[in-house]
Structure 1
Amino acid sequence: MAYTLEYVPQAILDAMATSHMLGIFFRMDSDPALHIWMGVNDIPAGIDSLDEDGTVYLGGGRLLNVPTLEVLVNGQSGSVEFGISGIDPSTAQKLLDNLPDVRGKDIKIGFTTLDQYYQPMGPIIPLWTGTASHPTESSPAVAGAESPTTSISLAVVSGTNTRSRASQVLWSAPHQKALYPTDKFCDGTARLARGVAPAWPNY
């Protein structure tokens, strides 16, 4: 196999230049790994160097609300949620009871074009990497004879800043003095956080 610098194969670029079907794939590096694509049938596909031969991506249904995927910039990243809705409560409870540890797991979102038989035209091309934070569940209110359903979501962030608990945003004087009782370096940080330019002492 010849080495190439082409990240997206030319055949897929040619297909995307015309009318095409796009497959969007979700991979979580849990144990075992979770493979889902936004479609109705299970199809064999894989990300080079990550997925083994014979990997099958399970059909996750029709993609409705596409979250905006942002990259980590200057230490700031947004949180997005990937979810499945319309699950009956008993099935959802079984899923939650057997849910593997997801916190900190690597997430890959990739795509490839599909042929007329809804099969991938090439390997999955990973475009976005995130870190799993925590799962959530919700049960929308129902009216009349409607059947109750459950929605399960997974919060994912770019970078490594998980959101299940707040991160420390201000290192204040009490924090510093807990480690170094005589150090006055952080005595002016509270005023600095309010936009005041403190007069720093000379030692």
Structure 2
Amino acid sequence: MGWIPDDVIEEMRGSHQLGIFLRVDTDPALHMWFGVHDIQTGFDSIDPDGTVYLGGGVLQGVPTLEVLVNGTADSVEFTVSGIDPATGGKMLDSLPPLRGAAVQLGLTTLDQYYQPMSKIIPIWTGTASHVSESSPMVTANESPSLTLALSVVSGETTRSRASRSLWSAPHQKAISPTDLFCDGTARLSRGVQPVWPHYT
């Protein structure tokens, strides 16, 4: 058996139910999956004894997940909508500090009883940045509701800090004063091919 169990691979070849699980490493940790009931499972490497993942409702769409490339970290948002304002306020007040917390996203297939066929298979890791709230406009006959969103970035930066997408010699020397790696970037941006050192 490899990284993905054989029975899960076989299930994915046909028509299958997919369970998507989200874990935020706060204190205490938040365990949620996109379904309608609670499930006992876990990531092998994080909670090997298993834990209860709370049902967060039906997933409307999966955000595009990207990894850190060339110093640029993409941001995604996981949202919960349709919350009444009083409940949403209590949720926001009870949230533990989450800035910088690791966020793991994993999946597995579900059997005919909507139970996981394996431990959660990790597919993406990010860093929690911040929570935002919004309230759509309602008419006189509608009840107000809240949408809460958790912003998560891939890589080492958070949303309110600029990502390291531009590298120059002064930037690099501010991090590492003796590093000469970026000394040729100004010439490179003008189209001049710098002579790179040869180390033997």
Same fold? TM cut 0.5: yes
Give the aligned partner of residue 180 of structure 2.
none
Counterparts of 2:157 and 2:151, CA distance in 1: 11
1:74 is matched by which residue type in structure 2? N
Report the alpha carbon displacement of residue 132 of structure 1 after superposing the two structures with TM: 0.6
Please, what TM-score do these two structures have when normalized by structure 2? Answer: 0.82
Give the aligned partner of residue 198 of structure 2.
none
Give the aligned partner of residue 197 of structure 2.
none
1:141 is matched by which residue type in structure 2? M
1:136 is matched by which residue type in structure 2? S
1:112 is aligned to 2:108: yes
1:63 is aligned to 2:26: no
1:139 is aligned to 2:135: yes
Give the aligned partner of residue 152 of structure 1.
148
1:124 is aligned to 2:120: yes
Counterparts of 1:172 and 1:87, CA distance in 2: 49
Report the alpha carbon displacement of residue 75 of structure 1 after superposing the two structures with TM: 1.6
1:117-165 CA-partner distances (Å, limit 9, x unpaired)? 0000010000001111111111111112110001111110111111123
1:117 is matched by which residue type in structure 2? Y
Report the alpha carbon displacement of residue 53 of structure 1 after superposing the two structures with TM: 2.2
Give the aligned partner of residue 83 of structure 1.
79
Counterparts of 1:63 and 1:35, CA distance in 2: 15
Report the alpha carbon displacement of residue 65 of structure 1 after superposing the two structures with TM: 2.3
1:103 is aligned to 2:99: yes
RMSD: 2.7
1:17 is aligned to 2:13: yes
Counterparts of 2:191 and 2:15, CA distance in 1: 58
Paired positions, count: 185
Counterparts of 1:92 and 1:12, CA distance in 2: 36
% identity of equivalent residues: 56
Give the aligned partner of residue 28 of structure 2.
32
Paired residues of 2:43 and 2:50 also in contact (CA < 8 A): no
Counterparts of 2:35 and 2:155, CA distance in 1: 27
Counterparts of 2:121 and 2:190, CA distance in 1: 48
Give the aligned partner of residue 201 of structure 1.
none
Paired residues of 2:73 and 2:163 also in contact (CA < 8 A): no
Larger radius of gyration: 1
- Which segment is superposed worse, 151-160 or 50-59? 50-59
1:102-121 CA-partner distances (Å, limit 9, x unpaired)? 11111111000000000000
Give the aligned partner of residue 93 of structure 1.
89
1:32-83 CA-partner distances (Å, limit 9, x unpaired)? 1111111000011111021152401100001012100011112222100001
Question: 5 Å matches for 1:122-201?
Answer: 122-167=118-163, 169=166
1:24 is matched by which residue type in structure 2? I
Which residue among 44, 56, 68 is the counterpart of 1:48?
44
